[in-house]
Amino acid sequence: MGRIYVKRMRVLTFLFVSSLYLGLSSSSNTEKRLLTDLFNGYDTQLKPVKNYTDDIIVGVQMFPFLIREVDERLQTFSTSLWIGYNWKDENLMWNSSNYDGITGLRVNIDKIWIPGICIINELTDKKCLNFDEKGMAFLIYNGFVYYLKPFESTIQCKLDVTAYPFDEQICTYIFYPYSNIAHDFGYSANMTGFDLTFFEKNEEWEVLSTSKSFPLDDRMPGSVVRTARLNVILKRRPSYVIINIFIPIFILSVLNLLSFLLPIESGEKMGMVLAIFLTFAVFVTLISDSMPKSSVNLSMFGNYVAGQLIISGLTIILETIVIKIYFKEYTPAAESRDDHSFHKYFHNNQGSDSYDADRWKRFAVKLERYFCAFIVLATIATIIYLILGVTVMRRTVTQ
């Protein structure tokens, strides 16, 4: 009985494997027959519509994965993303019931018609969807084609750093049809846009929102084409700049004011103000290295730091004047040999202050108080400028 049971199990296993193999072979043969029928006489250079006057509706979807870099100096925006194109090819439609229920196929992208489209502000060499494109496309029985590919993108993006580090930036992907002379097409609003499902947060930038528009472009003489603009609105996270740059500069500006409180006799005034000035110069260099070399959109924060540098330099000049006056020696008028001369009579009648050696010291101390008040007012003015400037420019950018 045991041997009979084992033989029956072997027979059943053989029959199951045989039927599975025959089924797979049948499906493979059906898929091969479907591909043969679809591409029999198919030409990748022909517009895939039954009526040539009909436009092809193309959808463009972008799936950003992460922000690699936002370069203020080069005015570029770099991301790692997946970009997907979809359109309808009326020459690649079939009835699934005639092919064992097959509803989708995978084919090489260079075997089918593709829309001529470029990201015109893309800086890499992969800005266009060319006829020599490599990859796999997915066909649906109703004629829809989906093509998805990974993309390391770097686009030109005009960055306005006026409100730095509280700035918000708008970077735009501009899709331009380069084959519109022969094969014009439009864009599907429902199938075009950003999908942030797989997006990973960036430590420096926050994605506030995305938007899309389809304006007409008439910059080419005699040609008006419709473009697709996909916008991503970014907001800088200011915590790093506030902690590592703004707070040290604010502390330095306070120390610059405290230099007026040091006794002139200590001899530490000039050393302190020079050290503060050099520190300001270092911060100005650090900020200018990260900012674009532009005379149009100047950073309010950079202007504030430059203002503090100027105030620090002015403090050096004022303290030099104070120290020079403080240590100025009083030299009384030379006495004449004639005891009844006018000079002797004049100086004898001036009182004890005529030969006061501390006169210049008291004058230097009083002058230093006025200089201190001036520097305090100048420092407050720069802070007000920074607050008002950043607030106004931030509202302007976000409009």
Based on the fold, state whether residues 159 and 92 are members of the same structural domain.
yes
Q: What is the pLDDT of residue 222?
A: 64
279 vs 330: CA distance, rounded Å: 37
- Tell me whether residue 39 is in a domain: no
Based on the fold, state whether residues 231 and 327 are members of the same structural domain.
no
Closest CA to 398 of 156, 155, 234: 234
Least confident of 113-122, 126-135, 142-151: 126-135
- How many H-runs (helices) and E-runs (strands) does the chain carry? 7, 13
Res 25 pLDDT > 50: no
- Tell me whether residue 198 is in a domain: yes
Based on the fold, state whether residues 279 and 140 are members of the same structural domain.
no
Last residue of one domain, picked from the residues 217, 237, 257: 237
- What lies within 8 Å, CB to CB, of 314 at 6+ separation is 375, 378
- Tell me whether residue 81 is in a domain: yes
- Tell me whether residue 103 is in a domain: yes
Based on the fold, state whether residues 387 and 326 are members of the same structural domain.
yes
Q: What is the pLDDT of residue 186?
A: 82
Based on the fold, state whether residues 99 and 179 are members of the same structural domain.
yes
Query: Which domain covers residue 145, as residue numbers?
Result: 56-237
CATH of the domain at 254: 1.20.58.390
SS3 (DSSP) at 116: coil
Based on the fold, state whether residues 148 and 232 are members of the same structural domain.
yes
Question: How large is the average pLDDT for residues 282-301?
Answer: 74
- Tell me whether residue 4 is in a domain: no
Res 9 pLDDT > 50: no
Based on the fold, state whether residues 363 and 232 are members of the same structural domain.
no
Q: Residue 177 forms beta bridges with which residues?
A: 117
pLDDT tens per residue across span 234-255: 999 988 888 888 888 888 888 8
Q: What is the 3-state secondary structure (H, E, C) of 174-212?
A: EEEECCCCCCCEEECCCCCEECCCCCCCCCCEEEEEEEE
The total number of structural domains that make up the chain: 2
Based on the fold, state whether residues 204 and 257 are members of the same structural domain.
no
Contact (CB, 8 A) for 274 and 259: no
The pLDDT > 90 percentage for the chain reads 21
- Rounded to two decimals, the pTM is 0.76
- Tell me whether residue 29 is in a domain: no
Based on the fold, state whether residues 188 and 285 are members of the same structural domain.
no
Last residue of one domain, picked from the residues 237, 255, 289: 237
- Tell me whether residue 269 is in a domain: yes
The pLDDT > 70 percentage for the chain reads 81
Based on the fold, state whether residues 160 and 125 are members of the same structural domain.
yes
Q: What is the pLDDT of residue 20?
A: 40
Based on the fold, state whether residues 163 and 106 are members of the same structural domain.
yes
Closest CA to 271 of 315, 326, 327, 328: 315
Last residue of one domain, picked from the residues 173, 205, 237: 237
- Tell me whether residue 15 is in a domain: no
CATH of the domain at 163: 2.70.170.10
Based on the fold, state whether residues 262 and 348 are members of the same structural domain.
yes
pLDDT tens per residue across span 52-104: 778 888 999 999 999 999 988 888 999 999 999 999 999 999 998 888 888 88
